[in-house]
Amino acid sequence: MPVRTLFYGRRISSISIACDPSPRVKRRHTACVSLRGAMGVPSMENEFEDIPNKGQGGFTLIELMIVVAIISIGASIAVPEFIRWNARTQLRQATSEIASQLTMARMAAMNRNRSVDVTIQATSGVVNISAVVSGGLGTVIPTRSFMNSVRAVTGGPVTVSFSSLGVKTSAGTGTQTFGVCDTKNVQYSVTIIPAGRVNWSVNPTATPCP
């Protein structure tokens, strides 16, 4: 007997359901639902196919533990290397800055036509540099402190003096050299030749770090 009902606001007279009985189809059968209107004319036809549900992907506890172990091994290798690299970078910056400040003090001595004394020393594990006009007649370079990783200078406190002509007058007539050390006892060196020119190098001096 036809069934009269409404489907999505449309009146239909019959619903017929048929399945494909063919044994040659190995997958699940497709169910066909045919909706016919009042005059027997098909009003809507659709096919529904059963699709097997697949389980959602995820990580097992063992896989997570392996990932954590790999990250831990990588961190144990990378962190010490980063600390050493950072310490050497700060040591390089401090040594370069000390050489620059010495050069500025030499220029100030020539500009002021007065001798200038520069002092490099470590106080409580922190390296400082300052410069004054000889005899305490004025400040040339205010006291400046370097990073905590730069902890000592060899033979400190070190005094470097420049005459009004820019010539080095401290530590005799030869070349004056001192080392700058970090917390890992890595040492870079600063050299002042008799003429007063200042250079720095990554090569250590003959004196070990204190």
Q: What is the pLDDT of residues 87-126, one digit of tens each?
A: 889 999 999 999 999 999 999 999 999 999 999 999 888 9
pTM exceeding the 0.75 threshold for the entire prediction = no
Q: How would residue 61 be classed by pLDDT, with cut points 50, 70 and 90?
A: confident
In this structure, is residue 88 part of a structural domain?
Answer: yes
In this structure, is residue 208 part of a structural domain?
Answer: no
Q: How far apart are CA 175 and CA 167, in angstroms?
A: 11
35 vs 129: which has the higher pLDDT: 129
Domain count of the fold of the chain? 2
In this structure, is residue 85 part of a structural domain?
Answer: yes
Is 182 in the same domain as 131? yes
Is 95 in the same domain as 176? yes
Is 84 in the same domain as 15? no
Is 108 in the same domain as 197? yes
In the predicted model, is pLDDT for residue 206 greater than 90?
no
65 vs 57: which has the higher pLDDT: 65
Cβ(43)–Cβ(12) below 8 Å = yes
Q: What's the whole-number mean pLDDT along residues 49-63?
A: 66
**Residue numbers of the domain that contains 30:** 5-48
